[in-house]
Amino acid sequence: MRVLEDDVVAKADGGRRPARPALLAATIGSVREMWESRNLLANLTLRELRGKYKRSLLGWAWSLVNPLATMLIFAVVFGVFLKVKVPPGDPSGLDVFALFLLCGILPWNLVANGMTGAMGTMLANSNLIKKVYFPRQVLIAANVASSVVAFLIEMGVLAVALLLAGNFVLPWLLPVIALMALQFVFVLGIGLTLGVLNVYFRDVQHFTGILLQLWFYATPVVYPVSVVPRTAHALGVEVPVRFLYDLNPMVRFVGVYRDLLYDVRAPAAGDLLYLLAVSAVTLLVGLMVFARLEPKLAEEL
Amino acid sequence: MTEAAAPTPTTPAPTTPAPMTPAVVVDHVTKHFRLYHERNQHLKSTLLRGRRAQYEEFYALRDVDLTVPEGTTFGLIGENGSGKSTLLKCMARILRPDEGHIDVKGKVSALLELGAGFHPELSGRENVHLNGSILGLGKKQIAAKFDEIVEFAGLERFIDTPVKNYSSGMYVRLGFSVAINVEPDVLLVDEVLAVGDESFQRKCNEKFADLKAAKKTVVVVSHGLSSIRSLCDQVAWLKDGTLHAIGPAGDVVDQYIDEVHPDRQQVSGSGTRWGSGEARVDRIELVDGDGHPTAKVRTGERVTFRFHYVMTEPIPRPVFGMAVHTLDGQHVTGPNTREADCVPERLEGEGHVDLVVPVLMLLPGTYDVSTAITDYATLHQFDFRHRTFRFDVEPGQPKESYGGVVSLGGLWQIHSLDGER
């Protein structure tokens, strides 16, 4: 009898177009839908993972080879040629540039892969979107989740390497996993926004390419935070460089990962609160943008 | 007025059961698309002109208002571009109406494209799980249905092969099998019935009959008027995005045929054929009252079925027979010359045999004719042609619009004791 009730509502509304459901209600509905289709999320994630490495000899190993190659290149360019000096782990005392790099590269890769993947997935699945109804946000969630699975494996390998290098990271693994979950939320928020916007404006993917480069260097992946000056003078104005720099959530993410894994110490509560707030807001914005633009996806693709 | 064509007892009452619960309510739905004059999905144009691109609004649906009763099979017909597929996609929630809204009661499954979402590199098994979850099934439900799905598709041996190695028929069969086993409350079908070979088609039709028997609601979009007529209880006719007519399937389809009047092509030679071949029916014709071959006749007309035969050697006492079937396989009649006591002692060469039907009692619909020539014992078959000829019957006299296959040709009589005239 739900139908009839709705009918009454429509009539009460003058029999015209029913009021647009509040964006917030749509957003909440979107989260509920995602939860209800968790089996779909699991299957789509598996499809991404299986599809990615099918018919390649190394298969899953590629997930490790890529960051290792990046690490090797950076270690040579920044460590050997440019002689970037990083402070040893405090209190761990660890002083291995390669491991320092990996603690930044791996979280960074999640952001980069999550963003590019989320944009690609809507276009790649356009046929599905046009022919079947299902909660479309799950497509993006599955894509980001598949990046997270790769990230998990990479972090597992990194943890072993750190143990071998003498960092007793075992007690910190649970907080690291919690942090990864938080980063998933953050990347999902960005992915939802960019993924759906890219359907309407294909410029988004080109713009994202530039943004990612800029963002990479604004994040302490290949250099320690200590090289960033507190203030700088530009055009006669004192610019609080470090303050602005710290607004970048990736500075905090990488910072906290390094705290936990490289330095082996508890991160600052302020960093955690900041990340919690930023991730929550990012996801909320993502869900709202998605809920707003989703209804016309099938005709815009 | 004791003997007259009295009005049928139920005048405008719907043929659906009395307590009608709506399964799909389409409430004043309007949907328009933008026809871009220059497709420009760039920020530049948006920023420079203050709008995305120049476009024209195209109304695919205008204020369509209809209700699909629960447990019925409902057809949507109309010419290309009339909006029927758009309406179906709106029901499936793939498209959102710009105005009005659509309420669907229960779980919806849409057969718009079979195997949409299959990943070519994954095995049939993995794809069944994937596709099932896209269609809204939970993990346990898929596991419970898995064997049935595979068996229905007839792919037991290939289920662990990547689907990219499937033939297109296998691909579609698996897609259909998953979609139909979702057990939706409302199934939306868009012209996908014309897939697979004959035996798979029959399976599909059986499945639809099952759904109908299980009182599930089915909404079908099709150009196949005969299947619409035989499958559907009610039909809505869309024209230029508006609802042109709605009502019992036969009525609306007849109206539609009368208006659109596509001259039916003679469908022949598509069925199977077997026999020893010394005697053959080369061609069968349907001849109307004026002596012209046709494929479209009306109820109540005088028609002749004409068998053109060729016999390469003298055949003693050959028996000619034919069978008329509806498209969903119901056998209507099967006359032959032996039972009619019209068997020549010997026949050779060419000629034709006529079956003259003074008053055709078939009701409107599409029918298939099979023909046969056998020996007198009807044991040896010289030539059997299954469904070799197809024809349409349009409404005529007697006029009956409430379904069925044949008219009894009865006469109504009213005997009132009150002497009312």
Convert the pLDDT of each residue in A150-204 to its tens digit. 999 999 999 999 999 999 999 999 999 999 999 999 999 999 999 999 998 888 9
Q: Which residue type does A238 have?
A: E
- Is A139's pLDDT higher than 90? yes
Distance of residue A250 Cα from the nearest chain B Cα, in angstroms: 27
B137–A17 CB contact, under 8 Å: no
The pLDDT score that the predictor gives to residue B418 is 79
Q: In what order do the strands lie in the sheet with B346-357?
A: B293-294, B279-287, B303-316, B346-357
Q: Which residues of B76-96 are buried (b: 16+ CB within 10 A; e: fewer)?
A: bbbbeebbbbbbbbbbbbbbb
Per residue in A241-265, pLDDT tens? 999 999 999 999 999 999 999 999 9
The DSSP 8-state label assigned to residue A81 in this structure reads I
Instruction: Count interface pairs A-B at CB distance under 8 A.
Output: 103
Nearest residue on chain A to B88, alpha-carbon basis: A131
The pLDDT score that the predictor gives to residue B195 is 59
B43–A7 CB contact, under 8 Å: no
Distance of residue A166 Cα from the nearest chain B Cα, in angstroms: 42
- What's the average model confidence in pLDDT over A101-128? 93
The pLDDT score that the predictor gives to residue A21 is 57
B22-260 and B273-394 share one fold: no
- What's the average model confidence in pLDDT over A225-238? 88
The pLDDT score that the predictor gives to residue B20 is 75
- What's the average model confidence in pLDDT over B272-300? 86
- Weakest mean pLDDT among A67-71, A89-93, B187-191: B187-191
Strand-strand pairing, B381-394 and B296-298: parallel
- Is B9's pLDDT higher than 60? no
- Is A236's pLDDT higher than 70? yes
Per residue in B106-141, pLDDT tens? 888 887 877 777 888 889 999 999 888 888 888 898
Q: Does any CB of chain A come closer than 8 Å to the CB of residue B119?
A: yes
Distance of residue A41 Cα from the nearest chain B Cα, in angstroms: 9
B121–A37 CB contact, under 8 Å: no
The CATH superfamily assigned to B273-394 is abc- transporter (atp binding component) like domain (2.70.50.60)
Q: What is the pTM of this model?
A: 0.71
Site from A11, A13, A30, A131 to mutate, B interface, most B CB atoms within 10 angstroms = A131
For residue B170, how many other CB atoms are within 10 A of its CB? 19
Instruction: Output the average pLDDT for chain B.
Output: 82
- Is B356's pLDDT higher than 70? yes
Q: Does any CB of chain A come closer than 8 Å to the CB of residue B110?
A: yes
Look at residue A159 and give its three-state secondary structure. helix
The DSSP 8-state label assigned to residue A78 in this structure reads I
The pLDDT score that the predictor gives to residue B263 is 42
- What's the average model confidence in pLDDT over B368-378? 88
- Is A239's pLDDT higher than 50? yes
CA–CA separation, B126 vs A65, rounded Å? 27
Q: Does any CB of chain B come closer than 8 Å to the CB of residue A35?
A: no
Phi, psi for residue B108 in degrees, rounded to 5? -110, 140
- Is B4's pLDDT higher than 60? no
CA–CA separation, B32 vs A140, rounded Å? 27
Compute the C-alpha angle B122/B194/B66, nearest 5°: 105
Distance of residue B197 Cα from the nearest chain A Cα, in angstroms: 23
The pLDDT score that the predictor gives to residue B270 is 47
CATH T-level fold of B22-260: Rossmann fold (3.40.50)
- Per-residue pLDDT band at B47 (split at 50, 70, 90): low
- Is B243's pLDDT higher than 60? yes
Q: Where are the domains of chain B?
A: 22-260, 273-394
Give, for B45, the enclosing helix (H) or strand (E): helix B43-49
The pLDDT score that the predictor gives to residue B307 is 92
Q: Who has greater pLDDT, B223 or B168?
A: B168
A134–B136 CB contact, under 8 Å: yes
List of chain B residues whose C-beta atoms are within 8 Å of the C-beta of residue A42: 133, 139
The pLDDT score that the predictor gives to residue A33 is 84
- Is B261's pLDDT higher than 60? no
Look at residue B341 and give its three-state secondary structure. coil
Q: Does any CB of chain B come closer than 8 Å to the CB of residue A6?
A: yes
The pLDDT score that the predictor gives to residue A97 is 92
Intra-chain end-to-end CA distance of chain B, in Å: 6
Directed axis angle between helix A137-164 and helix A38-53, to 10°?
60
The pLDDT score that the predictor gives to residue B8 is 41
- Weakest mean pLDDT among A59-63, B108-112, B214-218, B342-346: A59-63
Share of chain A above pLDDT 70, in %: 93
CB nearest to B116's CB, from A2, A17, A131: A131
- Is B58's pLDDT higher than 80? yes
Q: Does any CB of chain B come closer than 8 Å to the CB of residue A201?
A: yes
The pLDDT score that the predictor gives to residue B46 is 65
Distance of residue A140 Cα from the nearest chain B Cα, in angstroms: 14
- Weakest mean pLDDT among A17-21, A266-270, B90-94: A17-21
Structure tokens that stand for B385 in this block: 């042609």
Instruction: Output the average pLDDT for chain A.
Output: 87
The pLDDT score that the predictor gives to residue B51 is 57
- Per-residue pLDDT band at B203 (split at 50, 70, 90): confident
Q: Does any CB of chain B come closer than 8 Å to the CB of residue A20?
A: no
Q: Which residues of B140-150 are buried (b: 16+ CB within 10 A; e: fewer)?
A: ebbeebbeebb
Phi, psi for residue B346 in degrees, rounded to 5? -160, 145
Q: What DSSP string runs through B194-230?
A: S-S-HHHHHHHHHHHHHHHHTT-EEEEE-S-HHHHHH
- Per-residue pLDDT band at A289 (split at 50, 70, 90): very high
Q: Who has greater pLDDT, B60 or B194?
A: B60
Q: Among candidates A299, A230, A54, A290, which has minimal Cα distance to B162?
A: A54
CA–CA separation, B51 vs A192, rounded Å? 24
Residues in contact with A177: Cβ distance below 8 Å, sequence separation at least 6, in sequence order: none
A15–B28 CB contact, under 8 Å: yes
- Is A52's pLDDT higher than 70? yes
- Per-residue pLDDT band at B171 (split at 50, 70, 90): confident
Q: Does any CB of chain B come closer than 8 Å to the CB of residue A51?
A: yes
Nearest residue on chain A to B100, alpha-carbon basis: A17
CB nearest to A3's CB, from B28, B103, B135: B103
- Per-residue pLDDT band at B416 (split at 50, 70, 90): confident
Q: Does any CB of chain B come closer than 8 Å to the CB of residue A205?
A: no
Q: Who has greater pLDDT, B275 or A1?
A: B275
Q: Does any CB of chain B come closer than 8 Å to the CB of residue A38?
A: no
Structure tokens that stand for A153 in this block: 């494996």
Compute the C-alpha angle B162/B166/B169, nearest 5°: 145
- Weakest mean pLDDT among B4-8, B58-62, B219-223: B4-8
Residues in contact with A103: Cβ distance below 8 Å, sequence separation at least 6, in sequence order: A158, A254, A257, A258, A261, A262
CA–CA separation, B55 vs B57, rounded Å? 7
A39–B133 CB contact, under 8 Å: yes
Compute the C-alpha angle B197/B111/B163, nearest 5°: 60
- Is A115's pLDDT higher than 90? yes
Does the bond joining A171 to the residue before it have cis omega, within 30 degrees of 0? no
CA–CA separation, A94 vs A97, rounded Å? 9
- Is A235's pLDDT higher than 70? yes
B27–A44 CB contact, under 8 Å: no
List of chain B residues whose C-beta atoms are within 8 Å of the C-beta of residue A2: 103, 105
CA–CA separation, B207 vs B193, rounded Å? 11
Share of chain B above pLDDT 70, in %: 84
The pLDDT score that the predictor gives to residue B54 is 65
